[in-house]
């Protein structure tokens, strides 16, 4: 179709300290033989369109800042398939809402990246997603997990201090449960510093419940299906004094599908 006119919207960005002028409608520009001319000044942005129905958008006032919720129960049933659960921030891997295919669990949060992605930075060698506030010191929470692989595992964590490109260096308290029947508690996401270890009665393709509690005095305990596996009255000074909580898988390649359900944050404080 032949275009004879373009509608013009103008903005000037106030980088010099002046107030910005945003999306002001100007006179339309004529197009002659497929050509037009336009003079642009410094820090100016023009939007050109063939649509005459354009208008400046609007948005409601943002809600005021508020503390992160310190109690939350999420069974993941209220989300669209392929959506993301409230509050979780993926650091490595991809955690999406999926249908478990099981009537007793319905929708779940599933780790769907079966291979490590092409990375801009080191990130982490395992899929993990964070939740909560960096300032949390004392936290108690639980989640159900199901691991497909007989050599894989699930992890939940507290006081996780670093994310993004520094996730692989993060300290914290990491509680791993593996389907080979063992568990580990470490003070590093890469399992370098072991605080506790032992046997765990879990197997592949069966749901189990993991619980982790950390007090302000760093007393740390973990349970599997309601049975206490460890209780640490002291942790190394290298463990951060505060940080996020997290859930994840022990690696990428052996955990498809890796499912989580029935997230329950019972308490959290700074």
pLDDT at residue 186, rounded to an integer: 95
Q: Any idea which residue has 């201090």 for tokens?
A: 161
User: Residue 84: what pLDDT?
Assistant: 97
- pLDDT score of 49: 94
Question: Hey, is 169 helix, strand or coil?
Answer: helix
Q: Is 232 helix (H, G, I), strand (E, B) or coil?
A: strand
Give, in order, the Cα–Cα distances in Å from 47 to each of 22, 24, 54, 144.
Answer: 11, 10, 10, 50
At which residue do the structure tokens 């013009």 appear?
8
pLDDT tens figures, 107-136: 999 999 888 777 777 767 799 999 999 999
| Residue-level pLDDT at 254 | 56
Euclidean distance between CA atoms 32 and 5, whole angstroms: 9
Full-model pTM: 0.79
| Helix (H) or strand (E) run with residue 7 in it | strand 5-12
What is the mean pLDDT of each successive set of 10 residues along the chain, which is 270 residues long?
Answer: 90 91 94 92 94 87 90 97 97 94 94 82 84 96 94 94 90 95 94 94 95 90 97 90 95 76 96
End-to-end CA distance of the chain: 63
Q: Is the dihedral of CA 122, 163, 76, 262 positive or negative?
A: positive
CA distances from 174 to 25, 59, 77, 220, 234 (A): 56, 41, 27, 11, 15
Q: What are phi and psi of 131, to 5 degrees?
A: -150, 145
pLDDT at residue 257, as a whole number: 74
Task: Look at residues 246, 72, 68, 54 and name the one whose alpha carbon lies nearest to residue 157.
Answer: 246
**Which is it for strands 128-131 and 89-92: parallel, antiparallel or unpaired?**
antiparallel
Q: What is the CATH number of domain 72-269?
A: 2.60.120.560
Distances in whole angstroms, Cα of residue 216 to Cα of each of 126, 137, 220, 267? 28, 6, 10, 12
Distance separating alpha carbons of residues 243 and 245, to the nearest angstrom: 7
Q: 236 by DSSP, 3-state: which?
A: coil
Instruction: Mark 24-57 as b/e (b = at least 16 C-beta within 10 Å).
Output: eeeeeeeeeeeeeeeeeeeeeeeeeeeeeeeeee
Quick one: pLDDT at residue 252?
A: 83
Please report, for the chain, the start and end positions of each structural domain, with discontinuous segments joined by +.
5-49, 72-269
Cβ atoms of residues 131 and 163 within 8 Å: no
């Amino acid at each position: 179709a032949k275009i004879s006119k373009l509608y013009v919207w103008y903005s000037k960005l106030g980088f010099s300290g002046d107030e910005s002028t945003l999306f002001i409608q100007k006179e339309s520009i004529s197009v002659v033989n497929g050509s037009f001319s336009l003079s642009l000044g410094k820090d100016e942005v023009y939007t050109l369109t063939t649509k005459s129905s354009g208008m400046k958008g609007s948005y409601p006032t943002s809600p005021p800042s508020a503390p992160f919720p310190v109690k939350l129960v999420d069974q993941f049933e209220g989300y669209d398939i392929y959506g993301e659960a409230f509050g979780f921030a993926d650091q490595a891997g991809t955690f999406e809402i999926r249908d478990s295919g099981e009537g007793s669990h319905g929708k779940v949060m599933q780790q769907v990246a079966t291979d490590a992605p092409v990375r801009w930075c080191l990130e982490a060698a395992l899929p993990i997603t964070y939740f909560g506030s960096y300032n949390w010191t004392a936290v108690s929470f639980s989640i159900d997990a199901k691991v497909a692989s007989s050599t894989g595992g699930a992890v939940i964590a507290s006081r996780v201090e670093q994310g993004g490109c520094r996730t692989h260096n993060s300290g914290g308290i990491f509680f791993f449960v593996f389907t080979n029947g063992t568990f580990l508690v470490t003070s590093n996401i890469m399992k370098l510093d072991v605080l506790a270890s032992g046997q765990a009665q879990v197997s592949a393709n069966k749901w189990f419940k993991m619980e982790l509690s950390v007090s302000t005095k760093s007393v740390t305990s973990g349970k599997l299906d309601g049975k206490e596996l460890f209780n640490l009255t002291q942790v190394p000074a290298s463990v951060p004094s505060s940080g996020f909580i997290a859930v994840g898988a022990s690696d990428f390649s052996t955990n498809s599908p890796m499912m989580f359900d029935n997230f329950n944050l019972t308490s959290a404080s700074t």
